[in-house]
Amino acid sequence: MKKSPNDIDIHVGSRIRLRRVMLGLSQEKLGDGLGITFQQVQKYEKGTNRVGASRLQHISELLDVHISYFFEGSPGSADDKPLAEPSQLSQFMNSKEGIALARAFCTIEDDRVRRRVLELVQSLGNSNTADGKKTTETSASLPH
């Protein structure tokens, strides 16, 4: 009997994929660094295979992030207010739009601008859910 992937394994895998893509690394390149095949990297990213602690530490070193990065926003984490359901968040962060948004956001060096962009996106998200429906046009004014 084949068991389905655990939510945490899926989340950790999606964070591995997100960081790998943000750095512009292929699965093959990451696999080479780990001494494994790209197929094994694929299984980790999908959550099909669980990543062991020492392997996750090695991945964090290769991807230049603290090991806690892989658990940020995970199901059951102590975040005050989750931005989305874990599966929805994982799906978005693995989408082309999610990756493009994350890459673009990371290029913003000014902390104030980053906060304003975050506030804008949160405002747009709140206005879409306020009426219980999605809007196609939303305007927001920010002081200059």
**What is the CB neighbour count within 10 angstroms for residue 86?**
18
Mean pLDDT, range 120-129, rounded to an integer: 84
User: DSSP code of 33?
Assistant: H
Cα Rg of the chain (Å, integer): 17
Q: How many CB atoms lie within 10 A of CB 6?
A: 12
Q: What is the pLDDT of residue 98?
A: 85
Domains of the chain: 1-78 (1.10.260.40), 96-126 (no CATH)
pLDDT of 142 strictly over 60? no
d(CA 95, CA 48): 19
Q: Give the model confidence (pLDDT) of 53-83 as tens digits.
A: 999 999 999 999 999 999 988 777 655 445 4
Which phi and psi angles does 95 have, rounded to 5°?
-85, 160
1 confidence band (pLDDT: 50, 70, 90): low
Report how far residue 5's alpha carbon sits from residue 11's, in angstroms, rounded to the nearest whole number: 10
The distance between the two most distant Cα atoms of the chain, rounded to a whole number of Å, is 60
Model confidence at 130, pLDDT cuts 50, 70, 90, reads: low
Rounded to the nearest 10 degrees, the angle between the axes of helix 27-34 and helix 53-62 is 120
